[in-house]
């Protein structure tokens, strides 16, 4: 009941205003903000854009469900995929290939109790992306998962001496006294320092630290595009 009330209040809030993520004031002062286009309306031949960055046509697979049954237990995977090229409007930046979905375990007692006697006993959402920067041979990996919490994970490379970025889902809005109970964006950190934020509610928005090198800004813009195009599985 509490979660339903929070989601209803969130819907009212979004319908009446255009709230932003709750962000640290120091980060906001150092960041450039870019509104996003391409997330609304009919998504066939979808192309996403912000600042000078733009995706190629986003290629999506239909979500598929597979089930493994062992006695009264079922392991279910609902998964889909999407892939796209990414450029800064003049040059290619990266190629991204993402897979997302949910793994869940069920107890099925329909044969004994009849009706809808089937319960989820565990579930985990996931988002995994490969990010190949233009001209490079080593791909970056985004690995994120959530079990009763918001997605949390890391963007990293197997190449030595490369940074590791922590990516945290958030449900906190500016001006709200409590979390809204629904993910509204992601915060990106390197060595505890916030470098970017991605708002995924409404049309979307991206903040990137203005002091970063062009290479790192392009990398974080690619990450932002992957998160803006991610759609959680519907159970």
pLDDT 10s digits, 143-168: 999 876 788 999 999 888 899 999 99
199 lies in some domain: yes
Looking at the predicted structure, is the pLDDT value of residue 184 above 70? yes
213 lies in some domain: yes
114 lies in some domain: yes
Question: What is the number of residues in the chain?
Answer: 235
Over residues 165-178, the mean pLDDT reads: 89
Lowest mean pLDDT among 21-25, 184-188, 201-205, 231-235: 231-235
Predicted pLDDT of residue 11: 44
Give the range of the structural domain holding residue 75, as residue numbers without chain letter.
2-229
* Pairing between β-strand 92-108 and β-strand 118-133 as defined by DSSP bridges: antiparallel
C-alpha distance from residue 155 to each of 29, 64, 128, 170 (Å): 24, 26, 10, 17
Over residues 118-129, the mean pLDDT reads: 72
234 lies in some domain: no
Looking at the predicted structure, is the pLDDT value of residue 97 above 50? yes
Over residues 206-224, the mean pLDDT reads: 97
83 lies in some domain: yes
Over residues 123-130, the mean pLDDT reads: 88
Predicted pLDDT of residue 148: 66
Structural domain count of the chain: 1
Predicted pLDDT of residue 22: 93
235 lies in some domain: no
17 lies in some domain: yes
Predicted pLDDT of residue 84: 97
- Tokens read off for 56: 């190629």
**pLDDT-derived band of residue 175, with 50, 70 and 90 as boundaries?**
confident
């Amino acid at each position: 009941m509490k979660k339903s009330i929070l989601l209803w209040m969130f819907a009212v809030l979004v319908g009446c205003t255009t709230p932003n993520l709750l962000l640290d004031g120091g980060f906001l002062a150092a960041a450039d903000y870019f509104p996003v286009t391409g997330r609304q309306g009919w998504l066939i031949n979808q192309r996403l854009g912000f600042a000078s960055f733009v995706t190629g046509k986003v290629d999506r697979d239909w979500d598929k469900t597979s089930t493994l049954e062992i006695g009264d237990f079922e392991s279910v995977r609902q998964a889909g995929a999407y892939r796209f090229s990414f450029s800064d409007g003049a040059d290619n930046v990266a190629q991204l290939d993402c897979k997302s979905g949910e793994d869940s375990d069920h107890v099925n007692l329909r044969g004994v109790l009849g009706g809808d006697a089937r319960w989820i006993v565990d579930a985990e959402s996931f988002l995994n992306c490969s990010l190949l920067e233009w001209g490079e041979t080593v791909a970056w990996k985004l690995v994120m998962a959530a079990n009763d919490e918001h997605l949390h994970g890391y963007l990293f490379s197997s190449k030595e001496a490369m940074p590791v970025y922590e990516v945290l889902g958030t449900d906190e809005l500016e001006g709200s006294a409590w979390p809204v109970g629904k993910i509204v964006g992601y915060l990106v950190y390197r060595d505890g320092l916030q470098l970017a934020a991605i708002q995924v509610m409404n049309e979307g928005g991206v903040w990137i630290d203005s002091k970063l090198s062009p290479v790192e800004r392009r990398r974080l813009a690619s990450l932002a595009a992957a998160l803006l195009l991610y759609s959680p599985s519907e159970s």
